[in-house]
Amino acid sequence: MRTSAFRFGARFDLGLLGELTIVAGTLLVLFLLVYPTAWVIVASFRTPETMFVAGRWEFTLDNYVALLNSGFWRNIVNSLGLCLVSVAISTVIAVNAAYAFSRLRFPAKRSLFASVLFGQTFPWIVLVTPLFILCARLGLLNNWLSMIFVYVAVTLPFSIYLLVGYLRAVPRSLDEAAIIDGATQLQIVWKIVLPIMLPGIVATATYAFLLCWSEYLFALALLTQDEMKTMPLALYAYFGENVTEWGSVMAASALTTLPTLLLFLPLQARMTSGLAAGSVKQ
């Protein structure tokens, strides 16, 4: 018996034809899944004239040059700065909160944790109008502080939820030993638990970053000045009603996708290797 006979389908001897069908089917599905994104990246290096012509191919960097000259670098800086600052604040708050929910006993813990999770299920669109009105009245439209505030609040529930999950894999004996050694709670979290759950924190921060990076709705409502817009807003602006500047659209799309692709690939290895493995390694 082959070792692989344990998995699904192996007992039913598929034969070479069956195997080829599965392989071909998988490749077809993968092609369909990858094609749209791959096309964006390829098209961003083609001249707008040859972009939609099969078989004709002219390599160019003009799309990127034109895009950056039109001020898109400003949107890149906006997106990067806003997302990095928001994620840093949100992750620090979430690490403390997740530790409290995971390890400490306090009154109303269940209801408080439930209310954090509830944030994940709440429709953002319902918050947009009141936030817009409030910001408009307080003169906080087109203001980085209000955007950072929104992105921290948006990422907190999910970050806390994920970190509570990661903390479960961290042995409690470590914290207990540290308490006996006289460490304070803050020291335990940031000096003893942090190094162990660093992979989990990195994964959580990555998710939070991606959430901010592709966020469109709050940015649409709260950022109205062109020079303050984030990448998704600016990208869609090139996608005009009548004349679409395909060269700029494709280059902007590729630049918006690149960081998320680069961040996701290492993340997937962690997801499949499992949370337990990450903490056992220490």
Binders of another protein among residues 120 to 149 (CB under 8 A) are: 120-134, 136-137, 149
Calpha distance 201→53 (Å, rounded): 45
x/- letters, 74..113, toward another protein (CB under 8 A): -------------------xx-xx-xxxx-x-x--xx-xx
x/- letters, 147..176, toward another protein (CB under 8 A): --xx-xxx-xx--xx--xx--x--------
Please, what's the b/e burial string for 59-76 (b: 16 or more CB within 10 A of its CB; e: otherwise)? ebeebbebbbeeebeebb
Window of 37-45, 60-68, 69-77, 194-202 that interacts with another protein by CB under 8 A:
37-45
Residue 8 within binding range of another protein, rule CB under 8 A: yes
Instruction: Name the one residue in this structure whose structure tokens are 């039913």.
Output: 12
Question: Which residue spans within the chain are E strands per DSSP?
Answer: none
Calpha distance 114→110 (Å, rounded): 6
Residue 239 within binding range of another protein, rule CB under 8 A: yes
Window of 61-69, 70-78, 194-202, 255-263 that interacts with another protein by CB under 8 A:
255-263
* Bridge partners (DSSP) listed for residue 7: none
Residue 271 within binding range of another protein, rule CB under 8 A: yes
Site for another protein in 45-64 (CB under 8 A): 52, 54
Site for another protein in 167-226 (CB under 8 A): 168, 179-180, 182, 184-186, 189, 210, 213-214, 216-217, 221
Tell me how far, at minimum, the Cβ of 40 lies from another protein, in Å.
5
Tell me how far, at minimum, the Cβ of 65 lies from another protein, in Å.
20
Tell me how far, at minimum, the Cβ of 95 lies from another protein, in Å.
9
Calpha distance 57→174 (Å, rounded): 60
Instruction: Name the one residue in this structure whose structure tokens are 């040859």.
Output: 50
The letter for the amino acid at 282 is: Q
Q: Is 244 in contact with 238 (CB distance < 8 Å)?
A: yes
Residue 242 within binding range of another protein, rule CB under 8 A: no
Calpha distance 106→108 (Å, rounded): 7
